[in-house]
Amino acid sequence: MQLSYAAVVAILSYTAVASPLTRNVSDSCEKQYEQCVTAPDANISTCVSRQATCDSACQAGYDSCRGGDNANLSTCVATFASCTGHLPTKRNVPDSCEVQYGQCVTAPDANISTCVSRQDTCDSACQASYDSCRAAPGANLSTCVSNYSTCSGHMPTKRNVPDSCEKQYGQCVTTPDANISTCVSNQATCDSSCQAAYDSCRVAPGANLSTCVATYSSCTGHLPN
């Protein structure tokens, strides 16, 4: 069972207050990936492969949790997020932009700049369809979100916000002679700054969680985890 957009938002709202889930959870798949690609003589194909294996193990645990008797979805999501470093999405949908990217960077003699460029083009096409879907008369947001997730491999976010951390990362890795370690490090620094502002926003008197989430998403290019 895939999470509906409403379910993800509800769980996100709960975990953002009660049990913050961040991309930098110690030993999460994303954290291990960052450490791998920033290591001396890093091999991007090896790093991507290791992350895929790690994500698959987390997904198996998540599926088992959801299928258990009296399953608590919030607990399953929180455990998955701590394991992977991100909320459940449709990352492994065949032919999605994220799967194609994974195949591209793990191919022999992979060119990371080419792979990132292709993913950006793919994501842009998914975004255009998503925007058209939402603007159509009688639009069904759940259907639009589901179609977008199947196309891109992730839930709708603000990945393409100008100057967001993710956008800057995409520009960094597609420049001539790009240094992936530097790009990853710069993104981590950018994300940390956004996270600090998000944490401050949530604990401020009369905090508006929706505003905090929107500001964070514009800053990083993704929803809080």
| pLDDT tens for each residue of 141-155 | 878 888 888 888 777
φ, ψ dihedrals at 206, nearest 5°: 70, 30
Residue 214 within a domain: yes
Residue 38 within a domain: no
Residue 138 within a domain: no
pLDDT at 3: 46
Which pTM value belongs to this model?
Answer: 0.54
Q: Can you spell out the DSSP letters for the chain?
A: -PPPHHHHHHHHHHHHHHS---TT-TT-HHHHHHHHHTSTT--HHHHHHHHHHHHHHHHHHHHHHHTSTT--HHHHHHHHHHHHSS----TT-TT-HHHHHHHHHTSTT--HHHHHHHHHHHHHHHHHHHHHHHHSTT--HHHHHHHHHHHHSS----TT-TT-HHHHHHHHHTSTT--HHHHHHHHHHHHHHHHHHHHHHHHSTT--HHHHHHHHHHHHSS---
Q: How confident is the model at residue 73 (pLDDT cuts 50, 70, 90)?
A: confident
Residue 186 within a domain: yes
Residue 45 within a domain: no
Tell me the Cα Rg of the chain. 17
| Distance of alpha carbon 106 from alpha carbon 44, whole angstroms | 8
Tell whether the model's pLDDT for residue 8 goes beyond 50.
Answer: no
Q: Which residue has the tokens 């369809």?
A: 129
Q: How confident is the model at residue 56 (pLDDT cuts 50, 70, 90)?
A: confident
| Distance of alpha carbon 99 from alpha carbon 198, whole angstroms | 30
Residue 148 within a domain: no
- What percentage of residues in the chain have a pLDDT greater than 90? 3
Q: How many domains does the chain have?
A: 1
Residue 215 within a domain: yes
pLDDT at 92: 58
Domain containing residue 204: 158-225
Residue 219 within a domain: yes
Least confident of 5-9, 87-91, 123-127, 216-220: 5-9
Contact 188, 23 (CB under 8 A): no
CA nearest neighbour of 207 among 19, 11, 6, 13: 13
Residue 70: C-alpha distances to residues 19, 82, 95, 169, 205 (Å): 21, 21, 33, 41, 37
Q: Which residue has the tokens 């597609």?
A: 174
Q: What is the mean pLDDT of residues 183-201?
A: 88
Q: How confident is the model at residue 200 (pLDDT cuts 50, 70, 90)?
A: very high
